[in-house]
Structure 1
Amino acid sequence: MQPGAGLLPLRIRGRPAADRAGHRVGPAHGNAGRARGRGGHSLGTVGRAAGHGHGRSAQRRPGRARRTHRRRAWEPGAGARSGRAAATLATVHRADHSPLCRDAPTRDAHPRPRGRPNDHGDRARAGAPGHPHRSRPSPGHGSHRPAAHARRSRGYRRPTISEAIMSSTQTYAVTGAFSYSGRAITAELKARGHHVRTLTAHPRRTADAEGPDEVRPLNFDDPGELRSSLRGVDTLINTFWVRFPHGGTTFADAVDRSNGLLDAAVDAGVRRIVHVSITHADPASPYAYFAGKGLVEQHLTALPIGHSVLRPAILFGGQAVLINNIAWLLRNLPVFAIGGRGTYRIRGIHLADLAHLCADEAESDTDVLLDAVGPERPTFRELVTLVRTAVGSRAALIDVPEPLVPVCAAALGAVMRDTLLTKQEYQAMAHGLADTTGAPTGDLAISDWIAKNGHRLGRTYLNDTRGRRMPR
């Protein structure tokens, strides 16, 4: 063996016949004589001193990367490595076992006969990390590298589980996903495999398995932040509203904030909006709640965006405030006052039915206006009687003049530190605005739900103003 032959991590045999005939086998062929080292002399010069160079210039050309590759087990001198060449080979070996190349092929366990090429030709190991001129072998033809790794390059990063989920699902935004109706809508969307983001006035609350996947601020005072919170959302489901003026917020404020939210959704590129409104919403209504809802509907329908408007009257199911507190009063008072004769009708929808409707419309492409109502429309007296029977109450039902109902409600509210019923809420209900005559869009009957849940209704008082329970 000639001096220096065992020191080089180079291919030091002559060019294959195919390459000599003008058919280039691989980028590494014909370049072994140009491979260069560090330290004042070129490795190609040593190769020619050993009698194996091709006679090409060994001068290092500016801007060209140093080419090295690990010696094959069957090449001469593969077992003797020392000095600079061994250090160079160690560098290449470490690069081969970097996190991006963990499945790089290892050296053959048994030496091949001298001069015998391996099963994919006499090419150097293709695809060495970071070399711009080496082609990668196609999977199959003798390559030990799996196809997935053959496609990798420096800078590749395997996506995280959350990123993989996000790339295969739609993102739906729900305002107030920690609230009564918002939580039910969120649960329905997640059950369908959607990614849910909530916009809330309490952005410090964290996402959980049963709630939204993301929490973003609902900042009506900053349109730019609103747009940022909605960016990347496919559909916005808007449940925001105020039940009555409270804490300095009026219905006019609620209209402005709702319209600003809808405008931000359009600017952020949201595809569709599902808006939860109220039965008989009308900008000309004498009742501020219904007039405000009508103005928001009017604004939404004028926007260049797909939309659905759902109009429920009252909700039942879960922690339904109205029916639960009627049950609490029947459990704890000897009498229960009914305004007039109680012949005005109530057409409620179960919370799960509303959530199902919202999810259906979020996935739709058709603009619709729907009354979100259940199959039954009992009178108010019939509704109170159903609750009284279900909870086993003996309270007497008495009729009182309609003007006295808001007064009685205000007196009880002062004791409970809550707003049981406002004057406009009672008047709108007494004038039939909690009823519709159209076809039902929900399946669950309010009478069945009351009968099945009578044992737990009214055990605690649900304070709608303070958001807390008051025990019996």
Structure 2
Amino acid sequence: MAADTGLNVVTGAYSFTGRYIARRLLADGFKVKTLTGHPVTESPFSNDIPAAPFNFDDPAALAASLEGAEVLYNTYWIRLEYGEMTFAQAVANTRSLVRAAREVSVRHIVHLSAANASPDSPHPYFQAKAQAEQAVLESGIPCAILRPTILFGREAPFFNNLAWMLRKLPFFALPGDGSYPLQPVYVDDIAELAVRAGHRRQSVELVAGGPETFSFEQMVRLVARRIGSRSRLVHMPPTRILRLGGLVGGLVEDVPVTRREIDVLVSGLLATDAPAAGHTLFTVWLEQNADTLGICYQSELARHYR
């Protein structure tokens, strides 16, 4: 594929989903730049991708950092509300990013949202995701909205830290009966869909789940078996799990789980009835990566709040 004459900007290319998108764009010969909250962090791409800070509070600087961009791949979001960072602020930052893109005439946006995002959701995370989508859709810029279920990959904190707990703790707590569904989708499958939509300038809205669906208990047992864990699975109410999470969080200096995340998990919103958009099997990936999954804990606070 011939290199594009313009620029592809990826938010968060030093992080998780953005890293896979950027890697695919570079492999296809495209020029790539990233906007990041960690511009001084050592780049996983050597000098191949220049970086600029988000500058959400400086509209002129934010617009200048997007100058010349043909396609904006937006993966910016927050996992949890912490300190002054709230979901409402994440939505406001997304609106600032979209306004800057419109100001410099970005031609296309590929926006990463979440399956089951809805303005009517009882869960603030999904409400805010829907509001961020709306900001993109109302921008007047042609766009693709991708809505993955829950991402897995080597850098995915959810699966990595779950495996870490199964390696380190004598028991693993399952909220409720553990029967609620989980439909993991591989991060590079999402990156492939995103880059394809950007290349073709497709205007599309796509719910993107993986080809396998498990109950949460089935998934935990599968991970435990593959990594050789001796941790005992115990069913507990959310209040007790939060207390235990607070103890673990004190050890790792992180917030392993929140009440809102438990509520989302048990509600079944990490799965979808839509046809699978990803093709990589979690079971196969897990078998290939079991030796390294969960060896080190991945701290959300260390990655994004310190």
Pick the TM interval, shorter chain: over 0.9
**Closer, same or farther in 2 for the Cα pair 1:316/1:210, shift >3 Å?**
farther
Cα deviation code 1:401-431 (max 9, x no counterpart): 2443233222321222111111101101111
Which residue of structure 1 lines up, in the alignment, with residue 27 of structure 2?
Answer: 191
The question of 1:247 aligning with 2:83 is answered yes
For residue 208 of structure 1, report the CA deviation from its aligned partner.
6.8
**Closer, same or farther in 2 for the Cα pair 1:218/1:449, shift >3 Å?**
same
Cα deviation code 1:98-145 (max 9, x no counterpart): xxxxxxxxxxxxxxxxxxxxxxxxxxxxxxxxxxxxxxxxxxxxxxxx
Which residue of structure 2 lines up, in the alignment, with residue 331 of structure 1?
Answer: 167
Aligned partners of 1:328 and 1:459 also within 8 Å: yes
Out of 397, 410, 414, which is 2:246 matched to? 410
SS at match of 1:299: helix
For residue 181 of structure 1, report the CA deviation from its aligned partner.
1.6
Cα deviation code 1:253-281 (max 9, x no counterpart): 11111111011101110000011111111
Aligned partners of 1:198 and 1:212 also within 8 Å: no
Which residue of structure 1 lines up, in the alignment, with residue 127 of structure 2?
Answer: 291
Q: Partners in 1 of 2:35 and 2:262 — Cα distance?
A: 31
Which residue of structure 1 lines up, in the alignment, with residue 293 of structure 2?
Answer: 457
Which residue type is aligned with residue 198 of structure 1?
T
Q: Partners in 2 of 1:172 and 1:209 — Cα distance?
A: 15
Matches within 5 A, 1:17-36: none
Cα deviation code 1:83-110 (max 9, x no counterpart): xxxxxxxxxxxxxxxxxxxxxxxxxxxx
Aligned partners of 1:346 and 1:377 also within 8 Å: yes
Identity rate of aligned residues, in percent? 36
Matches within 5 A, 1:57-456: 169-204=5-40, 209=45, 212-456=48-292
Aligned partners of 1:177 and 1:211 also within 8 Å: no
For residue 212 of structure 1, report the CA deviation from its aligned partner.
4.7
Cα deviation code 1:15-59 (max 9, x no counterpart): xxxxxxxxxxxxxxxxxxxxxxxxxxxxxxxxxxxxxxxxxxxxx
- Unaligned 5+ segments in structure 1 are 1-164
- Unaligned 5+ segments in structure 2 are none
Which residue type is aligned with residue 276 of structure 1?
L
Q: Partners in 2 of 1:251 and 1:459 — Cα distance?
A: 30
Q: Partners in 1 of 2:93 and 2:195 — Cα distance?
A: 23
TM-score (norm 1): 0.61
For residue 209 of structure 1, report the CA deviation from its aligned partner.
4.5
For residue 348 of structure 1, report the CA deviation from its aligned partner.
1.3
For residue 446 of structure 1, report the CA deviation from its aligned partner.
0.9
Q: Partners in 2 of 1:232 and 1:368 — Cα distance?
A: 23
Aligned partners of 1:206 and 1:215 also within 8 Å: no
Q: Partners in 2 of 1:232 and 1:208 — Cα distance?
A: 23
Cα deviation code 1:141-161 (max 9, x no counterpart): xxxxxxxxxxxxxxxxxxxxx
Aligned partners of 2:245 and 2:256 also within 8 Å: yes
Higher strand share: 2
Aligned partners of 2:154 and 2:160 also within 8 Å: no
For residue 188 of structure 1, report the CA deviation from its aligned partner.
0.7
For residue 206 of structure 1, report the CA deviation from its aligned partner.
6.9
Q: Partners in 1 of 2:145 and 2:33 — Cα distance?
A: 20
For residue 222 of structure 1, report the CA deviation from its aligned partner.
0.9
Which residue type is aligned with residue 415 of structure 1?
L
Higher mean displacement: 202-211 or 431-440: 202-211
Aligned length: 303
Q: Partners in 2 of 1:296 and 1:400 — Cα distance?
A: 34
